[in-house]
Structure 1
Amino acid sequence: MKVWLIANDPRIGEMLEHSGLFAAVLHAVPGQPLSPDQGDCVVVSDKLLNSHEVVDLKACAPAAEIVYLLSNRDDHQELKRLQSLCAAHGVKFVPPKLTAEQVAGEIAMLCAGSDQRASRVIAGIGALPQIGLTSSLLLLGVKLGGMTGARIGILGLNGWNPGDAGLSYEGKYVDDIWGALQGRQLRPEELLRGMHHLTSSVYYLAGNRDLKKLYYYQPEGVSWLIQTAKQLFDVVLIDAGAYLDHALAAQSVYESDLLLVQLNQSQQAGDQWRRQRDQILRPVFANAEDKCVLLFNKMHEGPDVETAKQLSRQQGMPYIASLPYIPGFSRGEAERKLLERVHPGFGGELEKACRAVMQFYELPQAEPELRADKKKEAASWLRLSRWSRAERGVAAK
């Protein structure tokens, strides 16, 4: 099988050649006569050929696989129109906001049928800001690490909120390593040193504090961060925040196997999620909706509010846990002891979510002795932390 490439980015052709999946990668220009054989693939960028020209190309070469590389647009309806046009004429497409390597991977899947391996990355998005997504993911990561003994990395890729409230955070932030990401120079050992230790096997990198940098993060740099984290950890959890219109969130969604959508019982949350789904998720990330599951938070009980099962049916999506509203959360956040406090009602629901993740990735449960050791270690770490704070308080006097 040969690939005919009509695109501006030479890196795509280089990566297709290095994949070894194609007999040849041939570069072409708009207007050049093509003679693809049965089963060949023609890859076209929408920056060089418009949709009408791509439809004409498919009509001239019906035996070839045509792949249309889409770029992002301000109007989500236009993007949906292009995707519908592709479906009508048997043209496959690659969504926008991807790195050159990811584009090459998508082409390989569409044309050569290459498998996409599980990435062991789970991204969480909130229907609304301040819905408790960061704290839920931190507690989920600590619980999952305790139940499995696996190394868990949590990345704060929320562009609008660093996610350090409630913690005595001692690590770096995403904006601290911005330069290393842009140059793809960040090394695994450097990332690990910059992360905050939640437990001996769970690490956290807080998100972006510099709002002016938000739209300067490039897909290549964010992808490099996620790939680096995958080298260090068995499972990577990502806090992508409540806004998906930047590279931090886009790469989080693309790289994930599961997308945890956090809702509460408010009408506003449900409405906002549907807007995100219809205007961003479906047009930009064509198949992302297939990997969405619900994670409810701040849930109340009573005859005047809907249950998790009712909300799940309304959204047409399964849910893995329903975390209750805990009044003491605000105090724990103010005291920066969010992970040290015991939250009644949380444990059972967190365990449900962890078991779902364990089943999905076939993670074994830790041996009882290992779990007991981790509990002792966590308890001693908390005692040491309190003793250190007390000593600092005495010294200050």
Structure 2
Amino acid sequence: MYIGVVSHDSKYKELFQNEEEIETAVVMDQVKEDHNTSLELSALLVDGKFTPHQELAYIRDKFPNIPMFYKLHDIKSHISTKHIERICAAHRVTPINERYTIEQVVSEVMNVVCNKGEYASKRIVSFFGTHSGVGVSTTVLSIAKSISQRVHEKVLVLSLNAWDPADYFLQYEGKYLNDLKVELKTKSLTPVKLGEAVSQHGDFYHLAGNRDIKLQRFYKNDEIAHLIDVAKETFDLILIDGGTHFDTANASQSYVSSNLRFIVTNQEDKGYRGYFPHTFQQLIEPAGGTKSDFMLVLNRFQPNMSLISEKDLEEELEINRVATLPDMDILGAVSIRQKSLLYDVAEGNYKKNIDTISNLIISESQLSEKPVELHHLENKKGIFSSLFGKKKEEKV
């Protein structure tokens, strides 16, 4: 098939022609009155960086019967986003998220034009926090443990929070995100190099996040996208700790690369009333995101009349809740001290609700479960039994 691109960026031509379905990609600076191309195009991509949305009506007149796509660029507000999306809808044009890299734009167009679907992206699951310290990292690692011991597929945790490497929950022996900065910048990371960088914990793997303070805001969209693309070549399920800073490439790529997204919060006012509402209004919504993009995980829940209830918190955030993880008191801090996951040492509702989230991910990602084995059903001793449950000395 032949595809047209209205852009000054020649990289589109290279990437489209690497697709086996594309015979020729025609790149043009602008759409003229006539003689744009002698080829019969199957689809047209318009780059908003070089073509304002006001020209979409004119372009549609010139190409009335083929799929058209418009890559948004430098949108200032949610109102502007909605306006452009309506213009696109009026002219049967598919808008593409402005945070997508060129590679992701090409992939999105090919998915639609060739009916490739979105199965792969359902195996990329992202987790974010309404505010710092809400427990995203420990939740993601517990879910990784829960899933990995139940499925045949290889599970990877990517800690992409540039402010927290999340290397202190377990005995970490791998490299860090900042150690791979050169490979990410030069697009030279390979599955072999990534495999050497990660640390294995039982049945799952983990790449710890950034620990170079100077680099916290210096990762780029194409670098994080490259990391995720390489990870997809080796691992079947990728769980991403996206942190709380939605104004970074780490978080934005975690968001656009995944189809399953969770937001973790607790009962602190600064999360559900303070930080996150502003983040959503100023960063997520203008980029075309909606609250229905997320599923809510309520962490460290305490059933206290002085604190907000599960139902009220769900209504406050306007996000559907999938699980509530109870407050484990001192057990959380002690498990970190002992380099153990809370999932391994906790019992009752905490483990049950982690498994609930895991069930959802396994189902949506179409993972294959292992046969139930007896050792999975054995009761494991909690961490307190090893700390305080010393055997009583027998009296002689």
TM-score, reference length from structure 2: 0.83
Judge conservation of contact 2:48–2:73 (CA < 8 Å) in 1: yes
Aligned to 2:117: 115
C-alpha distance in 2 between matches for 1:40 and 1:368 = 49
Judge conservation of contact 1:125–1:240 (CA < 8 Å) in 2: yes
- Whether 2:166 is the aligned partner of 1:169: answer no
C-alpha distance in 2 between matches for 1:99 and 1:329 = 42
Aligned to 1:138: 141
C-alpha distance in 1 between matches for 2:52 and 2:153 = 48
C-alpha distance in 1 between matches for 2:53 and 2:140 = 41
Aligned to 2:192: 189
- Once the two structures are overlaid, the 10-residue window that deviates more, 299-308 or 96-105, is 299-308
Query: Offset of 1:193 from its aligned partner?
Result: 2.4
Query: Offset of 1:174 from its aligned partner?
Result: 0.2
Would the alpha carbon gap of residues 264 and 331 (structure 1) be closer, same or farther in structure 2, given more than 3 Å must change? closer
Aligned to 1:225: 227
Greater fraction of residues in helix: 1
- Once the two structures are overlaid, the 10-residue window that deviates more, 143-152 or 230-239, is 143-152
Report Cα offsets for 1:25-76 as digits up to 9, x if no partner. 2222226334689974332222222222233323454334432222234545
136, 155, 159: which one aligns with 1:156: 159
- Give the CA RMSD over aligned residues: 3.1
Amino acid at match of 1:104: V
Q: What are the residue-to-residue correspondences of 1:228-247 with 2, within 5 Å?
A: 228-247=230-249
Identical aligned pairs, as a percentage?
23
C-alpha distance in 2 between matches for 1:235 and 1:20 = 26
Q: What are the residue-to-residue correspondences of 1:201-216 with 2, within 5 Å?
A: 201-216=203-218
Judge conservation of contact 1:39–1:63 (CA < 8 Å) in 2: no
- Once the two structures are overlaid, the 10-residue window that deviates more, 49-58 or 75-84, is 75-84
Query: Offset of 1:13 from its aligned partner?
Result: 1.9
Report Cα offsets for 1:228-267 as digits up to 9, x if no partner. 2223323111000001122221221122131011122233
C-alpha distance in 2 between matches for 1:234 and 1:41 = 31
- Whether 2:33 is the aligned partner of 1:30: answer no
341, 351, 354: which one aligns with 2:355: 351
SS at match of 2:286: helix
Report Cα offsets for 1:294-342 as digits up to 9, x if no partner. 1111111133334434433444433221111121145326625342762
Aligned to 1:273: 276
Would the alpha carbon gap of residues 74 and 215 (structure 1) be closer, same or farther in structure 2, given more than 3 Å must change? farther
Aligned to 1:389: none
Judge conservation of contact 1:146–1:374 (CA < 8 Å) in 2: no
Would the alpha carbon gap of residues 317 and 40 (structure 1) be closer, same or farther in structure 2, given more than 3 Å must change? same
Q: What are the residue-to-residue correspondences of 1:329-368 with 2, within 5 Å?
A: 329=331, 331-332=333-334, 335-339=337-341, 342-344=345-347, 345-368=349-372
Aligned to 1:249: 251
SS at match of 2:196: helix
Would the alpha carbon gap of residues 150 and 115 (structure 1) be closer, same or farther in structure 2, given more than 3 Å must change? closer
TM-score, reference length from structure 1: 0.83
SS at match of 1:197: strand
C-alpha distance in 2 between matches for 1:69 and 1:133 = 32
Aligned to 2:303: 301
Aligned to 2:101: 99
SS at match of 2:3: strand
Would the alpha carbon gap of residues 195 and 109 (structure 1) be closer, same or farther in structure 2, given more than 3 Å must change? closer
Unaligned 5+ segments in structure 2 are 388-396
C-alpha distance in 1 between matches for 2:249 and 2:228 = 12
Aligned to 2:391: none
C-alpha distance in 2 between matches for 1:180 and 1:3 = 32
C-alpha distance in 2 between matches for 1:309 and 1:332 = 30
- Once the two structures are overlaid, the 10-residue window that deviates more, 86-95 or 167-176, is 86-95
Q: What are the residue-to-residue correspondences of 1:1-16 with 2, within 5 Å?
A: 2-16=2-16
Amino acid at match of 1:42: L
Would the alpha carbon gap of residues 188 and 26 (structure 1) be closer, same or farther in structure 2, given more than 3 Å must change? closer
Would the alpha carbon gap of residues 27 and 292 (structure 1) be closer, same or farther in structure 2, given more than 3 Å must change? same
C-alpha distance in 2 between matches for 1:22 and 1:197 = 40
C-alpha distance in 2 between matches for 1:149 and 1:31 = 50
In the alignment of these two chains, the number of paired residues is 377
Report Cα offsets for 1:81-123 as digits up to 9, x if no partner. 3333323443322112222221112222444544233331111
